[in-house]
């Protein structure tokens, strides 16, 4: 049980997204679950396995991207070293002059961007920094070419640089192989779990993932997964039981709680995903839905204060599927 102090300086109990799901299914089901300990149900075990797989996928994706960067650094390095090596083998005043001119041109571009930097709006500073670094780098490389063409040929140094370039290329090939291998593994895991597009940035694995908190509304939770699709954060809730004909209200409420947590901890999400096996429902994050959720949270707080909780439906089918019907005094089936 996690407690916090709200804006009225009262100590209030946080309500979890999982409890909101139970309450939305049937208030009595939630109430009875508060008296139960942690249950290692089939669903929990399935969830844990999905979490493990997704975590594995997330790590493979990150490694694949790291190796991809390695490919770029090694390949660019190899090309530059090879080019410097070639210039060591020849003497050419013409090429020396051309590269001198190019080096000065890129130096001027770099100085121009440096001069404009202070007058820029914050949003452009990152792009300008990248252009400045690129311009300064090109200027340096062209200067090296110009000096090499200007000097007398140095065959020994030229050949050493060509061999070094070859070794860098072998390094780039290794990184490419590893990047493809990890990328392939990630794709297989995504297919296996029926995951939609996007980079996995958070997985609820064995409760080690950080708990997301909303201090404003007193809600906590760990979404099964958090995807980053472009610039959007998308919470994902995976359900392992029977596949319903449409998304269930209680699951929508749970997902809405996660969207609210994403709003407070990252940025306002546009939507969340509810997954029943390979069936995926996109739930838009709308004001009406958020209001219904907050109303449910308010009702739960009232129930905790008064201890008055009852069944709120007349559907025997609901009771038949309820995991607490054995101990429920108001069950219909
Ligand atoms: S058995 Fe029926 S009334 Fe009882 S908690 Fe479950 S759904 Fe609610």
pLDDT, tens digit, 9 for 90 and up, residues 265-309: 999 999 999 999 888 999 999 999 999 999 999 999 999 999 889
Mean pLDDT of 171-176: 91
Task: Report the nearest-CA residue for atom 7 of ligand 1.
Answer: 319
Residue 312 pLDDT greater than 80, yes or no: yes
pLDDT of residue 329: 92
User: For residue 37, what pLDDT band results from cuts at 50, 70 and 90?
Assistant: low
Ligand 1, from 321, 331, 332: best to mutate by most atoms within 8 Å of Cβ? 331
| Ligand 1 center–CA 243 separation, angstroms | 20
Residue 24 pLDDT greater than 90, yes or no: yes
User: For residue 127, what pLDDT band results from cuts at 50, 70 and 90?
Assistant: confident
pLDDT of residue 8: 53
| Ligand 1 center–CA 36 separation, angstroms | 15
Pocket of ligand 1 (CB under 6 A): 26, 28-29, 32, 311, 318-319, 322, 324-325, 328, 330-332
pLDDT of residue 2: 53
Would you tell me the crossing angle of helices 287-306 and 17-25 to the nearest 10 degrees?
A: 80
Which residue matches tokens 């192989």?
177
pLDDT of residue 193: 84
Mean pLDDT of 96-110: 90
- The full set of domains in the chain, from first to last, is 3-39+198-327 (3.90.320), 62-192 (no CATH)
| Tokens of residue 265, six digits | 């901890």
pLDDT of residue 121: 78
pLDDT of residue 177: 93
Contact of 276 with 224, CB cutoff 8 Å: no
Residue 327 pLDDT greater than 80, yes or no: yes
Question: Mean pLDDT, the chain, as a whole number?
Answer: 87
Question: Residue 328 to residues 241, 251, 306: CA-CA distances in angstroms?
Answer: 21, 22, 19
pLDDT tens digits for range 248-262: 999 999 999 999 999
| Ligand 1 center–CA 23 separation, angstroms | 11
Consecutive H or E run containing 46 = helix 42-89
User: Residue 9: which residues within 8 A CB-CB, separation 6 or more?
Assistant: none
For 69: left if phi > 0, alpha if psi spans -120 to 50, otherwise beta; the answer is alpha
Pairing of strands 219-221, 15-16: parallel
Mean pLDDT of 15-27: 95
pLDDT tens digits for range 42-87: 667 777 788 888 888 888 988 999 999 889 888 888 888 888 888 8
| Tokens of residue 171, six digits | 């390094």
Residue 3 pLDDT greater than 60, yes or no: no
pLDDT tens digits for range 179-229: 999 999 988 988 888 887 788 888 887 556 788 999 999 999 999 999 998
Task: Report the nearest-CA residue for atom 5 of ligand 1.
Answer: 29
Mean pLDDT of 141-156: 86
Cα 285 → chain centroid: 18
- Ligand 1 atom showing the smallest separation from residue 311 Cα: 3
Task: Report the nearest-CA residue for atom 2 of ligand 1.
Answer: 319
pLDDT of residue 176: 92
pLDDT of residue 9: 54
pTM of structure: 0.73
| Ligand 1 center–CA 170 separation, angstroms | 65
CA angle centred on 278, ends 274 and 284, rounded to 5°? 25
| Ligand 1 center–CA 22 separation, angstroms | 10
């Amino acid at each position: 049980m996690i407690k916090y102090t709200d804006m009225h300086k009262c100590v209030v109990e946080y309500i979890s997204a999982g409890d909101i799901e139970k309450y939305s299914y049937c208030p009595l089901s939630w109430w009875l679950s508060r008296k139960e300990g942690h249950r290692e149900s089939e669903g929990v075990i399935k969830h844990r396995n999905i979490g493990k797989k997704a975590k594995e996928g997330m790590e493979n994706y990150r490694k694949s991207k790291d190796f991809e960067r390695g490919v770029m650094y090694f390949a660019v390095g190899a090309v530059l070293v090879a080019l410097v090596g070639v210039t060591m083998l020849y003497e050419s005043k013409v090429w020396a002059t051309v590269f001198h001119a190019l080096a000065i041109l890129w130096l001027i571009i770099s100085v121009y961007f440096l001069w404009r930097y202070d007058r820029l709006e914050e949003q452009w500073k990152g792009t300008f920094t990248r252009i400045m670094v690129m311009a300064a780098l090109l200027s340096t490389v062209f200067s090296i070419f110009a000096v090499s063409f200007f000097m007398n040929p140095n065959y020994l140094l030229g050949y050493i640089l060509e061999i070094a370039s070859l070794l860098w290329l072998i390094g780039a090939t290794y990184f490419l192989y590893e990047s493809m291998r990890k990328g392939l593994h990630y794709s297989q895991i995504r297919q296996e779990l029926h995951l939609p597009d996007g980079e996995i940035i958070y997985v609820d694995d064995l409760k080690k993932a950080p708990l997301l908190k909303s201090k404003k509304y007193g809600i906590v939770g760990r979404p099964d997964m958090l995807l980053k699709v472009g610039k959007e954060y998308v919470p994902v809730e995976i359900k392992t039981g029977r596949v319903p004909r449409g998304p269930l209200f209680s699951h929508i409420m749970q997902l809405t709680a996660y969207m609210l947590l994403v709003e407070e901890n990252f940025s306002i999400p546009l939507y969340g995903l509810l997954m029943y096996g390979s069936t995926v429902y996109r739930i838009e994050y709308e004001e009406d839905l958020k209001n219904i959720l907050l109303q449910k949270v308010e009702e739960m707080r009232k129930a905790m204060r008064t201890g008055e909780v009852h069944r709120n439906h007349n559907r025997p089918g609901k009771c038949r599927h309820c995991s607490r019907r054995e101990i429920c005094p108001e069950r219909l089936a």
